[in-house]
Structure 1
Amino acid sequence: MKRNAAVLAVLAILIGFAIYQNIAGARKEPVTAGEQASKANYSAPAFALSALDGNTYQVGGARDKPLVLNFWATWCPPCKQEAPDLADLYDRYKDRVDFYGINLTQSDKLADVRQFVSDYRLTFPILLDKDGAVADKYKFVFIPTSYLIDRTGTVREVVNVLTTAEWEKKLNALLKQG
C-alpha cells in the first residue's frame, strides 16, 4: 500500500514538473550530436554554481572522488522522502564520494530551501540553480533525479528515489568503477 502511494506521488510530481517545464519553456532544444548528454556513459555537462555555504562548486571533467548530483525542490514529496537517506549516506560515504544537492531555486523560495536543509540536517553542499540553466543542461524529466558520476567525469547512472540498500549497491559499484 505504501509503495502504491509512493508510485502515485512520484507520478503526480512527474506530471507537475513536466507541466512546469513546458510552461517555463525550459526545454528549448534537444541534445544534438556532439553535445554532452546527461545520461549514462556520456560526460557530465559542466557547470559552476554558488551554494548556500557561499562557495562555488564546479562539475565537469576529472575529479578526485566520484560524485552524486541530486536535483530536488522543497515542494517535492519524493524529495522529502529521500532526504533523510541522502543525509545518512553522505555521512557514511563523504570520505569516498562527493554529494551535491542542486536545488531548483527558480521554482523554489530561498527561505524554504534553508528550512528544508535545516529540517533534514543536510550537511553536503546545496547548490542553487537560480535560473534553471543547470537543470536545462541535464534534461531530466522529474525530480528527484540523481546522477552518479565517476572520477573521469562520466555519468555512470541516472536514478530516482531509491531505498538505502539500493543506494549502497549503486555507490559501491560507482566506487569500483574508478
Structure 2
Amino acid sequence: MRRNGLILLGIALLLGVALYQNSDNGTLSWFSSSDKQQPSLSATALAKSGLEPGAEAPSFTLTGLDGKTYHVGGKRDKPLLVNFWASWCDPCKEEAPDLVRMADKYSQSLDVYSVNVTMYDKLSKAKEFVQQYKMTFPVLLDEKEAAYRKYNGVAFPTNVLIDRNGVIQDIIIGTLSAEQLEQKIKDLVKL
C-alpha cells in the first residue's frame, strides 16, 4: 500500500513539474479565468505556434451546424474573426457573451466563424453551448481537428483576426476583456 502511495506521489510531482514548465511565467493562465485583462500567451509561446500576424491565413472548409459549407482563406468581402473553442472550456464560456455581442454589433463589417473543435468535444454539448449563449453566427464543426491543426492550436479559446485580403492581423490565445476585444475588432474593420 505504501509503495502505491509513493508511486502516485511521484506521478503527481512529475505532472506538476511538466505543467509548470509548459506554462507562461510559471502560471497556467489559460486554465484560469481570473486574469481577463491580458492575453494569456507569451510572445515565445505564440512564436512556437507557427502563425503570426502578417502571414497568410491557412485555408480550410468546414460544415456548420446549419448544414452549410464555410471556407476560410483568401480574399473576402469582410474581415473575419475565427474562434476555436470547446464546450467544456471555462474561458470559452466566459468569452461567449462578448463574442455574441461583438458579432451582433459589427455584423455589417465583420464575419464571425465559431469553430467547435469537435474532436475534443461532444456534438450534443456543442449544440447546448450554442443554444445557451444564443450564438447566431456560423458555428463550424472541426470533427477531425484539421482546421485547428492548420492554425497550430495550443489552447482554447483561440481567436484569429483575418483581414479582407486573407492575412492574419492578430492571434488571441486565451481571453481578453470585452473592451480589449472590441478595440482589436475596430482596428481590424478599419483596414
TM-score by length of 2: 0.74
Once the two structures are TM-superposed, the CA of residue 99 in structure 1 deviates from its matched residue by 0.1
Once the two structures are TM-superposed, the CA of residue 10 in structure 1 deviates from its matched residue by 1.9
Instruction: Specify the alignment match of 2:42 in structure 1.
Output: none
Q: Does 1:55 align with 2:75?
A: no
Q: Does 1:149 align with 2:162?
A: yes
Whole-angstrom CA distance in 2 between matches of 1:103 and 1:50: 11
Larger radius of gyration: 2
Instruction: Specify the alignment match of 2:30 in structure 1.
Output: 10
3-state DSSP class of the match of 1:58?
strand
| Structure 1 moving runs of 4+ over 6 Å | none
Q: Does 1:162 align with 2:182?
A: no
Q: 1:111 to 1:9 in 2, by over 3 A?
A: farther
Q: What are structure 1's unaligned runs of at least 5 residues?
A: 1-6, 14-29, 32-36
The aligned length equals 150
Whole-angstrom CA distance in 2 between matches of 1:9 and 1:80: 15
Match of 2:114 among 101, 112, 121: 101
Identity of aligned residues (%): 44
8 Å CA contact retained: 2:32, 2:91: no
TM-score by length of 1: 0.80
3-state DSSP class of the match of 2:130?
helix
Q: Does 1:174 align with 2:188?
A: yes
Whole-angstrom CA distance in 1 between matches of 2:51 and 2:124: 29
User: What letter matches 2:91 in structure 1?
Assistant: P
Once the two structures are TM-superposed, the CA of residue 39 in structure 1 deviates from its matched residue by 2.0
3-state DSSP class of the match of 1:171?
helix
Root-mean-square deviation (CA), in Å? 1.8
